[in-house]
Structure 1
């Protein structure tokens, strides 16, 4: 069976696996419809870039996967237009909010869950260090797999930690989607992965195909696609990660 990831924008993707379309972290607002990111140095409204597909594109989904509910991963537009009866898989801390928002088919993934011939395993993450981690709240990654198709690890808004390193060592995922915009809060606190983390993971799990996303669309993200391409090229690592454009489909 074919596995594909269509990168929509920011952290929003559509994973096609086992003939199912799974919408990941839907932020569907038009340019400037969302506020600036709080506790950052930028006062620009978000998103900075338009959706590359029409809104009716999202009518043809089989499920939704949410790593956490910050507004650049689940916004009011997504809540208003998405089919509320679709299976929605999330971390435990987001269940009550999603049910209050009207989603009627919420599945909490404590450890792992099976659906439609697909296994989803949650891997706890950490959005930042110290007090910033408490401010930002819980985040998770998800390892999505089938025996025939292999595994796709959506790492989520997680900084590189020993636990993430162990997840790569233990699982050796076939594909990993990394949020690598070097997003910053006030005082320079880094709250996502960075270009240097791509190098670490490429060395740690060389068979894993890496896909770098979450760039160019949100105002507190300091590292753009062009910066990442130049960074990798300068180190002779231009093939270490796929850096998709908005709307681009990657087939594996």
Structure 2
């Protein structure tokens, strides 16, 4: 397994001989409007890609957690080849097909793709009314012979769904989407520093990799702050906070 953090939640994963592109958001900096009703009005994304898009378009499949524009944008929809294998949650099938993609496969629970078992997990994209408004989101567990078990939690806070997935699949590596994204009302809709600490406490044997940082206007948790928190709680041997473009294992 080899994983590259492209930017935000976009990951380029080489796993069991296949190349998977997770949550492709390929717009240049400032190309999209700010998320409204937040304490920051900067246009999105906040930073440019550090990777040549051509490399990402060589992926064998797309694995999509949900269709919010910071996870799947118009540039990706335009540039990706229309016959690429597109794996997603059932709720998003029609929206993706409406953009011309021909091989869209919903993963209700578990799907075998080119020797990789992909199991869909659930989460909470916030709590209460804000969580309801954000809609359904998914995560995925990847398993294959001679490969570590990888859990991509998706846009979720720490909750029972995540705890159950960690307990059931005992992943070697867990990618969490952090940034502590929030609106002017309601609580965080992605993981905070404390959420990440809870993941570590629950599953001390999983390597926690933190993505979804410093790219979107309502993500206020920054890498330096999170690194300081991780060191304060002596979690630096378990938690990896990669920069955009960085590889991790």
Bin for the TM-score computed over the shorter chain: over 0.9
Shift of 1:188: 4.7
Q: CA RMSD in A?
A: 1.0
Kept in 2: contact 1:67–1:90 (CA 8 A): yes
- Please, which of 36, 41, 44 is the counterpart of residue 43 of structure 1? 41
Q: Secondary structure at the match of 2:59?
A: coil
Q: Structure 2 matches for 1:141-160, cutoff 5 A?
A: 141-160=139-158
Q: What is the distance in 2 between the residues matched to 1:213 and 1:59?
A: 20
> Which residue of structure 1 lines up, in the alignment, with residue 125 of structure 2?
127
Give the TM-score normalised by structure 1.
0.96
Shift of 1:19: 1.0
Shift of 1:138: 0.5
Regions of 4+ moved over 6 Å = none
Give ranges in structure 2 of 5+ residues lacking alignment.
none
User: Is 1:69–2:67 an aligned residue pair?
Assistant: yes
Q: What is the distance in 2 between the residues matched to 1:15 and 1:128?
A: 27
Kept in 1: contact 2:158–2:199 (CA 8 A): no
Kept in 1: contact 2:130–2:186 (CA 8 A): no
Q: Secondary structure at the match of 1:134?
A: helix
Q: What is the distance in 2 between the residues matched to 1:193 and 1:230?
A: 16
Kept in 2: contact 1:199–1:240 (CA 8 A): no
Kept in 2: contact 1:125–1:140 (CA 8 A): yes
Kept in 2: contact 1:112–1:122 (CA 8 A): yes
> Which residue of structure 1 lines up, in the alignment, with residue 86 of structure 2?
88
Give the TM-score normalised by structure 2.
0.97
User: Is 1:238–2:226 an aligned residue pair?
Assistant: no
Deviations 1:9-66 (A, max 9, x none): 0000011101111000011000000111133222110001110112212221110000
Shift of 1:150: 2.6
Shift of 1:231: 0.9
Shift of 1:186: 1.7
